[in-house]
Structure 1
Amino acid sequence: MPLPLLTPPQSETELFTRAQHLAGKTFAELASERHIALPASLQRNKGWVGNLIELSLGAQAGSKAEQDFAHLGIELKTIPINAQGVPLETTFVCVVPLTGNIGVTWQESHVRQKLAKVLWIPIEGERQIPLGERRVGNPLLWEPSAQEEQQLHADWEELMEMIALGHVEEITARHGEYLQIRPKAANNRALTEAIGKSGNKILTLPRGFYLKKRFTAPLLAQHFALKNE
């Protein structure tokens, strides 16, 4: 039976200290500490690792649109890496709003809110490592630089303009320098409303904003280089 939820950390320092205490531990160790069953694989439990880390740090936002530690203004992002510290996949940011976007600016967007300050938790993600033996890496508390935010802003503007003009079906993962939009749905029957080319409502797959590996890879490389100096 899972343990009661940890109380949320009361400060940025407390959160980061908790994250540091997770570094080096295996998923099996963390699951045992929280009395959570270790799944046979992640194939049908894709959110299990993220949920385990959230519970181990005292995050309580769950699936809400707000940051995981909203009272601290911090979002939590786990990121699977290989032995060289390189991200193995893109990073989900938030769901893309496909309607009701008139007048929405970058400053008030969910993307900017989610990426204003991020606690990155690298995790071993190579499939040859048994799930229970995969370890948690050293945490990184990050805020975007002026250049990073400028490019994220530009990507968001480009993608949201395409949605507003009815070109959602033409958006591919190649659009955007750092930020991309991809379908995010459990299956092809999970449709939602969007704006079509003629301004009419259409049904399409839900979409999500993702950070490309070309963004997260240098971010982590710099972090690990600093840790090893």
Structure 2
Amino acid sequence: MKPEPKTEAELLQRARDIAGLSFFELAETANMIVPANLKRDKGWVGQLLEWHLGAVAGSKPQQDFLDLGIELKSIPIGHTGKPLETTFVCVAPLIGVHGLTWEKSHVRQKLSKVLWIPVEGEREIPLAARKVGSPILWSPNDEEENALQQDWEELMEMIVLGQVEKITAKHGEVMQLRPKAANSRVFTEAYGATGKSIKTTPRGFYLRTQFTNQIIKRYFS
């Protein structure tokens, strides 16, 4: 793995250097094997990019480039230039959330500055042949931050009130809360409607595709 970049400029240059290259070319340099598909290797693309960019956080609950305050997110793009799937932000806290504010939230920290790496995501393109696009270094503007905060506060209020089981993917304008677990047998603690502890599936915050599409359109228009 490449050493951690010392500056934002160094990180951006590395990201620009891999733009236009295929997963096969990047995997060869990193001495990694390209899987046949991503069904069992969902995190493979992220690991490949982390290797080339020098991200050391891995799966730790912190920004990928902690010293630079930057989060790394790959985003699969279709032929039309639109994102093909929602973007996972972080796992949602379901207990001990009384008094938690947007300003101190993990979501806000993760999204304060993001290095987006668009990648070809159409399934008919063999994984090895898919290419990396030009990077986008993004921080939410006031409008985007307000929309994120509004959704976060609405979803967290439902969690605090013991309504986590009532939250569906329809809640939230730009960000939703969805189950996030390796399988349906994984459970965690949450508040029930009576205020007592219940067992439920872990949840994660996800950015809707229309939100990430606006980010991409703004940078490439």
TM class by shorter chain equals over 0.9
Render the CA deviation track for 1:135-193: whole Å, top value 9, x for unaligned. 00000000000111011001100000000000000001111111100001111110000
Q: Alpha-carbon deviation of 1:67?
A: 0.1
Residue number in structure 2 paired with 1:203: 199
Equivalent residue runs for 1:19-168 within 5 Å: 19-168=15-164
Find the residue that maps to 1:203 and give its secondary structure.
strand
Q: Alpha-carbon deviation of 1:75?
A: 0.3
Q: TM-score by structure 1 length?
A: 0.95
C-alpha separation between the residues in 2 aligned to 1:159 and 1:96?
10
Q: Alpha-carbon deviation of 1:223?
A: 1.4
Amino acid at match of 1:214: Q
C-alpha separation between the residues in 2 aligned to 1:142 and 1:112?
13
Amino acid at match of 1:147: E
Q: CA RMSD in A?
A: 0.6
Structure 2 portions without partners, runs of 5+: none
Render the CA deviation track for 1:5-59: whole Å, top value 9, x for unaligned. 2110000000000000010000000000000111111110000001100111000
Find the residue that maps to 2:47 and give its secondary structure.
helix
Find the residue that maps to 2:98 and give its secondary structure.
coil
C-alpha separation between the residues in 2 aligned to 1:153 and 1:32?
41
Structure 1 portions without partners, runs of 5+: none
Amino acid at match of 2:214: P
Runs of 4+ with >3 A deviation: none
Q: Alpha-carbon deviation of 1:218?
A: 1.2
Amino acid at match of 1:68: D
Render the CA deviation track for 1:113-135: whole Å, top value 9, x for unaligned. 00000000000000000000000
Q: Alpha-carbon deviation of 1:219?
A: 1.0
Find the residue that maps to 2:15 and give its secondary structure.
helix
C-alpha separation between the residues in 1 aligned to 2:37 and 2:149?
37
